[in-house]
Structure 1
């Protein structure tokens, strides 16, 4: 059963009154605040499945511009990131970025490739590097069925839109768990000045990793906030996508991607052995020479702030989800989060 990708009524971090820090949030506080970046989801819920696809589509990729400056950071390479080596070697992104479930990643990559080769812009293309990331949603979904494929890829790409982005248990986040709670898709953005230019950095995450949740520095352990819940599942990966319109090249975007992975620690990630932690960063800026490295510190700081907020938003937005054999990932209890943040003076 496919459920439309729509945001829940659960609050985001900004709704709880947690300040944005040194940099203002963008209008939607989403990756789509970067001009020309769209997001779409296709979600499968029901019949033993909680899985899907999330598509990040930069409109700057077009017939007249076949690649964007981009790069990759591998925090821990326990994952199946299709397209990784060429992305890192050339510092270039040639396709939309798709996120999905571990055992569906290869079907999704093939479907993305087929979709693009059928477009007029690629009528004569003989080489193309699809980029598809994943996390393992096998705790809440029948992962061996490999239920995600061409139909869901087409749906996610067709649904890709600017504006607000659905978060939580949607798309590639339908069956993920994070920091002892139900995880999922999260997004955030920051407005920052780079080399005298007003820029935006936006982030989208797929959270499925272990550790102890921290919000604004306040620990929120699942074993304390979920008094009657069974033992929580251990998440095992995180995908982070960073988009910006800052004037940076592929090498510099590798440095941005590194900071995105660093930011996971701020929300309590334990970087476990089996956690595949990756960040992809790209820029839609029309290159006329990159900014000097000495001008990049604000971009690095804004990226880390946006990543932390996106990671937290993914957990705040996610609702309790029951998988096969009654396996359950519980939503973080918002009232208890508010209570602890207020007690700590964070809100």
Structure 2
């Protein structure tokens, strides 16, 4: 393994997932109005953590967006999940962080949203905050995330290609025996529609790249949990979005997830479409299902290929997937 290898996305390595066309950036930000921001905390030898914000601009003029949730395995601390499932909507940006920082992030999101124009009389708000456990590479008990870190991720959220790999909420994560992180991808659907996804990968199993197993070195902490955020401009209702979220979890199996009992595997899907008509008919879900499966698989690979070897808490190390070794194995 060459510690100096340059992070590269799957497509930059010649690895193409599926047959459907990505959007221009091959990212969740291909869905118009969706922005992403990160705050990355690397402090001393022991802190490797952060915050990632997925911000739909449509919430600036609408109280909520249609959304759906699917829980592959509920060993997690997702704030806001019950109301999301009950009402089929999100009222805030979606924030990702580390397990024991979830509650500080949720409080900061509430502060941020109550200060927004039009929220002056709000007496209830349902923040959406999800997490994975980065305690192998970061001193998770330190709970270093503060409100200013959350505000920075929200305030700097931008369009364009988001940073991937060991950034934001993916700074200290590990997946499939290697260094995990943040990854994103997109696919075109329907005539003019797009599905975009962003993942926080931190789960166990045996990595598979386009179906080929890539063994990892032995590790005492294989990683657990995965959060997947799906955005689309398709006019789907909350029930349909829950079906898209289910396919997002299914896609984890394509890269080798073992769906361990200690894993918190959550997928959230939301639509930015204006609610100015009926939802799209059921047959329109078929291309969207396929788009989600391909985009999540590629985003998960990007989260690994864009990550860098990281040493952190207690001297623990997670190595990046070796690009050249992977390509040799695929060629053979």
**Residues of 2 paired with 1:120 and 1:297: CA distance?**
38
Q: Which position in structure 1 is the counterpart of 2:76?
A: 79
- Contact persistence 1:135–1:239 (CA under 8 A): yes
2:192 matches 1:198: yes
The yes-or-no answer on 1:113 pairing with 2:110 is yes
- What's the CA shift for 1:10? 1.2
Q: CA RMSD in A?
A: 1.1
Gaps of 5+ in 1: 1-7, 224-229
Q: Does structure 2 conserve the Cα–Cα contact (< 8 Å) formed by 1:180 and 1:232? A: no
* CA deviation map 1:132-161 (0-9, x unaligned): 000000000000011012011011011100
Matched, 1:127 2:124: yes
**8 Å CA contact retained: 1:183, 1:315:** yes
Structure 1 contact 202–244 (Cα < 8 Å) conserved: yes
**Cα offset for 1:20?**
3.9
* 2:210 pairs with one of 179, 201, 216: 216
Is 1:307 matched with 2:307? no
Does the residue aligned with 1:209 lie in a helix, a strand or coil? Answer: coil
Unaligned runs of 5+ in 2: none
Q: Which residue of 2 aligns with 1:5?
A: none
TM-superposition CA deviations, 1:263-298 (whole Å, max 9, x none): 000000000010000000000011211111122111
Instruction: Identify the match of residue 59 of structure 2 among 25, 40, 61.
Output: 61
Which consecutive aligned stretches of 4+ in structure 1 deviate over 3 angstroms post-superposition? none
| TM-fit CA distance, 1:220 | 0.5
SS in 2 for 1:236: coil
Q: Does structure 1 retain, via aligned residues, the 8 Å contact 2:17–2:210?
A: no
User: Equivalent residue for 1:277?
Assistant: 265
Task: Give the Cα–Cα distance (whole angstroms) in 2 for the partners of residues 9 and 213 of structure 1.
Answer: 20
State whether structure 2 residue 332 is matched by structure 1 residue 335: no
Q: Secondary structure at the match of 1:60?
A: helix
**Aligned partner of 1:262 among 240, 245, 250:** 250
Structure 1 stretch displaced more, 290-299 or 235-244: 290-299
Displacement of 1:342 after TM fit? Answer: 2.1
Q: Which moved more, 1:84-93 or 1:112-121?
A: 112-121
CA distance in 2, matches of 1:105, 1:281: 20
1:20 and 1:212 mapped to 2: Cα distance?
18
CA distance, structure 1, for counterparts of residue 312 and residue 209 of structure 2: 27
Aligned to 2:186, the other structure's residue is in SS state: strand
SS in 2 for 1:137: coil
Question: 1:309: Cα distance to partner?
Answer: 0.4
* Pair 1:99–1:310, CA change in 2 (3 A): same
Aligned mates of 1:283, 1:309 — CA distance in 2: 21
- 1:241 counterpart residue number: 229
How far 1:232 sits from its partner (Å)?
Answer: 5.1
The 5-angstrom pairing of residues 143-158 of structure 1 reads: 143-158=140-155
TM-score (norm 2): 0.96
Q: How does 1:27-66 map to 2 (within 5 A)?
A: 27-47=24-44, 48-62=46-60, 64-66=61-63
Q: CA deviation at 1:205?
A: 0.3
| Separation in structure 2 between the aligned mates of residue 96 and residue 245 of structure 1, nearest angstrom | 16
Do 2:17 and 2:297's aligned partners in 1 also have CA atoms closer than 8 Å? no
- 2:245, 2:295 → 1: CA distance? 12
CA displacement, residues 179-211 of structure 1 (integer Å, 9 cap, x when unaligned): 000000000000111xxx321000000000000
